[in-house]
Chains A and B, each alone.
Chain A
Amino acid sequence: MKRKLNPGYIYIFPAVLIMVLLIGYPLIYNISLSFKDVTLANLAGNDQPFVGFQNYIELFNHELFPVALKNTFLFTIGSIAFQFIIGFALALFFSMNFKLANFLRGLMMVSWLVPLTVTAMLFQFLLSPSVGLLNHIPIYFGWIEEPIAWLSLPEYAMWGIIITNIWIGVPFNMLLLATGLNNLPKDVYEAAAIDGATWIQRFRHITLPLLKPVIMIVMMLGFIYTFKVFDLVYVMTGGGPANSTQVLSTLSYQFSFQNFDFGLGASVANILFVILLIISIIYIKMTDEDEVAS
């Protein structure tokens, strides 16, 4: 395959072109914005003073930056861990052959289909201490005595949003892992069964290694989509109470669209971007080694 132009590039070209045109430009725009002092007054004109790293310096000294950074990681790791574990467990359960398995698995996807804004409001409702069912049910069963004001207490609010996000993300994890499971070669399992391998042995030595590429993709995409979360937090708590749910994307939004400090808002978005970029590079490295190894 060492000829002039690798034909693979032709196949890739349309997809790359669309993305370069539609996302490449916003990317560059945003990077340049972060080095300027831009408010609504000069957002359109050419009169945008270059201020070097001043926005970044201001950001690093801003009291909310470390808070938002910590919250973003807490939200991401909390969400992904539970989404993955529950999603995997359910994928395994529904991969057992029983009549309703496919139907029920499809049905559960519904939680992923509801528009995000609606889910956010729905859970705001369900988590409410006065009318929220997620409080009334445990009280009814005597698990808790007092309703928990999930979204109104700084120590719980983030978990309220994480619970919501887990509910949204589990079916996605389940679907991808389930299709991955279904694609595993059946003969290996049959051979293992003949060799007398237990269920756990088969899971550890066959399922997990074979599923690794799919697991990596699920984790990776999960990380990206969770890390840049906006709608959920914006609708459910707006970053409050007392900034306990302030994440990088809501902070960026607040700087840009509430304070009209677009340079500062862009710098937050870029930090978010750089973090995701670093994680992606690590991921690519890992999959590269993987492919070389296999």
Chain B
Amino acid sequence: MVKRLLRVFLVSFLIAMLGLTAAGCSNQRPVVMVTTTSFRDSGLAGALVQVLQKQTGLKISLVAQGSGAAVEMLKRGDADVGITHAPTLEMQLTHLGWHRVPFMQNYFYLVGPKQDPARAKSLTLTEAFRRIYQGKFLFVSRGDQSGTHMMEKALWGLLGLDPDTFGDWYIKTQAGMLTSLQIANEKGAYILTDQSTWLRNRDKLPQLDFITTSTEGLNTYSFLYKDARYAVLSEAFFSKEAQQIIRQFQFEPLER
């Protein structure tokens, strides 16, 4: 009986492993591409991966992490290539011999309640943030170390302010971009968002309106790779097909 159970155990384990090996890793281990959660959730990451796969013949596994974790994974070798939008973090990698290829950009938008109680419309982002701070108007923060959250912290930093000292008006969600937007919509709060998520979802956010953006809010996306084998992927980002998709998702493709 022990033997029989042991046999069942081993056989089922082996079958499962073999089956999944066959199904999953058909010939080679795919290239692991790490990107930020917000970028994956924009839907563009998946669409770009399709194009890259088609053009290079490489199989790509797309994994989403926060910006910090994504860079850490590249450093550890857990991912082979990456798409991130946190220039200061990316510098850590270029110092380690990684190639950084900026390939598209958009802007961070400040959005907020339609009445704009802080009267921040058409100010620069920094000025708008100052008004919000002075009036203690409700503000929703991702609080999740995402690229958007890093940008928001940098903007507070430009004003010499530390969000950790803020009061109840500063709401930390630790949730994704869309969820955070919905929370801001419910509470009538200001929030910093990436352009693309906003443009694609604003019809679901009736209480919110575009307030302002400016050059401090420039959001540059870069492709990161170290192994020369993956240089072909960086070429593919500048193909006609890729650039067209980038435009479709409300981003601005960059020239080589």
- A and B from one assembly? no
